[in-house]
Amino acid sequence: MNPTSEDASPLARYFPFLIWYQQINRNSLQADLLAGLTGAIVVLPQGVAYALIAGLPPEYGLYTAIITPVIAGLFGSSLHLISGPTAAISIVVLSVVSTVVPPGSQAFIPAVMTLTLMAGLMQLTLGLMRLGSIVNFISHTVVIGFTAGAAILIGTSQLKYALGLSVESGSSFFATWQQLFAQLNAINPYTVLIALTTIATTLLCKRLWPRSPNMFIGMVMGSLACWLVDGASRGVTLVGALPGSLPEIALPDLSPETLSALLPGAAAVAILGLVEAVSIARAIAIRSGQRIDGNQEFIGQGLSNTLGSFCSCYAGSGSFTRSGINYEAGAQTPLAALFAAVILILILLLIPDITAYLPLAAMAGAILVIAWNLIDLHHIQQICRSSRQESAVLLITFIATLTVELEFAIYLGVIVSLILYLRRTARPRVMEVAPIEFDQRTYLRSLERYELAADPAVKILRIDGSLFFGAVDHVQRALQKHSTPQQLGGRQLLVFCPGINFIDLSGAEMLLQETERLERAGVRVSFCVFKNTVLDELKALGYFQQLERGNFYPTVDAALLSLGSPNAHSAKVISADAS
């Protein structure tokens, strides 16, 4: 197993490169250099494309692809994660900042840097506070729904370039489609040809040569098609040359008005970025055998965005495509990200004209392919087939992504997930069970599922779920429903409790109320197989002594034997906490 920051000294925990630099040798350097070269070829068209999605000049995507992965690689825990510009983060950046500052205005880029700085500081703070587990509260379904919605938005935003039409900047999803339909008679066939050439070439290369830089090849073929039809003289817009300079020091806009306006969006960017990065790092770690420290990934992502905001970088996160290619290319350490950054710097300085003849239509074609790949059809179908609740979360998040501000779409999906989770935990199952013997030991199984006969001396109810304030009302109603005089028929009541993981004051009070209610009706109430931790909680709350008159039994056999059940296995008292 590869070493991680969790195994290291306190200093190395915050500087993970002190761990993995010991692995560097001639072979690893060669492997990292080849992986870095592959990564640079892949990220070159992606960086330009993602900057266009974010409403920024193309060089900002490359600046982000240079600075962000190096810092994240040095201070993160993953050996293979490649950070930088991503499609989902890019569309959120545009959505958030465009509500505060018009895209293309002089104040737009400083506002983007401010958003990046705020998101980075939030991520860094969470990492230093060791709150890496917070991403576990963002369900996978929310991310899938949001990403699918973002893919539709990204594709919609690029149709104007693919069709050669004019759409008002900052238009909403529905307004964009309305404007596109109104101009169908003005479609430029040459831009359509270029976009389709790019798409077809990219998909063909991906199918025939999966490891090839298919997007780069697609853009080259799109540019060739533009040259063959003399697109520049036929209304086809070109991206233009890169500035040919290194990233400059940038000063975010730190005015109180801008900070307060961008705060909700910055939180959404921070959360989405962390979810992406940690999920990708863990996915690759499963294949590499590495152990990932979520807190250290928070620190790496936070530092990369915080420092990157002063170096003309916009918000970045982990890239599944580039990280996967980095691993498949044989990268051994994060030096692969450093080598890729150096190669990108050389391209910026030596051949800035590499995008001079790149048509926007070819860029649009490549981005449309990216958008399509973002839609996880496999998991969407799986969710829709398996769970109504998860399908509702997916649909709500997807629709919200298309109709409201993107940052609020993320929040809405998370809130709905939490509501459904709380609803499920607040409704523990209460069912009647009956004894059944397996291999000389007694277990309790569902009366209905196993078609068992009820115990003639004892009615046994199993509670599957914790007893806290949110679940008390549901459990109390269920107990009363199952313990009417007609149902009990003179029998005693045994509550089977291994499924109760914790209990609070409300839960303890409810158990006491039900015990007293049944005792007044002449019914003895007993409990068996409580977890020791739950018994400790009952004692700490002062309810154990009050409930003890109903008797607590450590095993099923002990309870049945004491209560006079004919199903009791008296030969051997065995713990039976399986349900």
Q: What is the pLDDT of residue 9?
A: 62
Write down how long the chain is.
579
What's the domain count of the chain?
Answer: 2
Domain boundary among 388, 419, 450: 419
Residue 263 lies in a domain: yes
Residue 18 lies in a domain: no
State whether 194 and 260 are in the same domain: yes
Assess whether pLDDT exceeds 90 at residue 399: yes
Lowest mean pLDDT of 278-282, 296-300, 432-436, 564-568, name the range: 564-568
State whether 413 and 447 are in the same domain: no
Confidence label for 572 from pLDDT (cuts 50, 70 and 90): very low
How confident is the model over 107-111, as a mean pLDDT? 95
State whether 237 and 145 are in the same domain: yes
Confidence label for 579 from pLDDT (cuts 50, 70 and 90): very low
Q: What is the pLDDT of residue 569?
A: 62
State whether 322 and 368 are in the same domain: yes
- CA distances 314 to 58, 111, 267, 307, Å, are 12, 10, 15, 10
Q: What is the pLDDT of residue 467?
A: 95
Q: What confidence tens digit (pLDDT) does each residue in 241-263 have? A: 888 888 888 889 999 999 999 99
CA–CA separation, 132 and 462 (whole Å): 35
**Helix, strand or coil, per DSSP, at residue 207:** helix
Using a 10 angstrom Cβ sphere, with 0-12 exposed, 13-18 middle and 19 or more buried, the burial of residue 352 is: middle
Q: What confidence tens digit (pLDDT) does each residue in 111-159 have? A: 999 999 999 999 999 999 988 777 777 788 888 998 899 999 999 999 9
93 in Cβ contact with 244 (< 8 Å): no
Q: What is the pLDDT of residue 497?
A: 94
DSSP 528: E
State whether 479 and 546 are in the same domain: yes
| H or E stretch covering 382 | helix 377-386
Show the tokens assigned to 155.
Answer: 């594709």
State whether 303 and 168 are in the same domain: yes
Q: What confidence tens digit (pLDDT) does each residue in 7-50 have? A: 556 676 778 888 888 888 999 999 999 999 989 988 999 999 99
**Average pLDDT along the chain:** 88
Residue 464 lies in a domain: yes
Q: What confidence tens digit (pLDDT) does each residue in 171-202 have? A: 889 999 999 999 999 999 999 999 999 999 99
Residue 13 lies in a domain: no
Domain boundary among 374, 399, 419: 419
State whether 404 and 445 are in the same domain: no
517 in Cβ contact with 524 (< 8 Å): no
Residue 108 lies in a domain: yes
Which of 122-131, 162-171, 485-494 is most confident?
A: 122-131
Looking only at the bridges linking them, the beta strands covering 492-496 and 525-528 are: parallel
Q: Which of 413, 518, 532 is nearest to 142 (CA)?
A: 413
CA–CA separation, 115 and 121 (whole Å): 10
Confidence label for 570 from pLDDT (cuts 50, 70 and 90): very low
Query: What radius of gyration, in Å, describes the C-alpha atoms of the chain?
Result: 30
Confidence label for 447 from pLDDT (cuts 50, 70 and 90): confident
Residue 12 lies in a domain: no
| H or E stretch covering 73 | helix 58-75
State whether 326 and 438 are in the same domain: no
State whether 286 and 198 are in the same domain: yes
Looking only at the bridges linking them, the beta strands covering 458-464 and 492-496 are: parallel
Assess whether pLDDT exceeds 70 at residue 384: yes
Confidence label for 439 from pLDDT (cuts 50, 70 and 90): low
**CATH code, 544:** 3.30.750.24
State whether 60 and 121 are in the same domain: yes
Confidence label for 405 from pLDDT (cuts 50, 70 and 90): confident
Q: What is the pLDDT of residue 440?
A: 61
Q: What confidence tens digit (pLDDT) does each residue in 526-543 have? A: 999 999 999 999 999 999
Whole-number percent of the chain with pLDDT over 70: 95
State whether 294 and 326 are in the same domain: yes
Q: Show the domain range for 74.
A: 29-419
Domain boundary among 419, 437, 465: 419
543 in Cβ contact with 511 (< 8 Å): yes
Assess whether pLDDT exceeds 80 at residue 575: no
Residue 447 lies in a domain: yes
Residue 575 lies in a domain: no
Assess whether pLDDT exceeds 70 at residue 216: yes
How confident is the model over 554-570, as a mean pLDDT? 81
State whether 483 and 366 are in the same domain: no
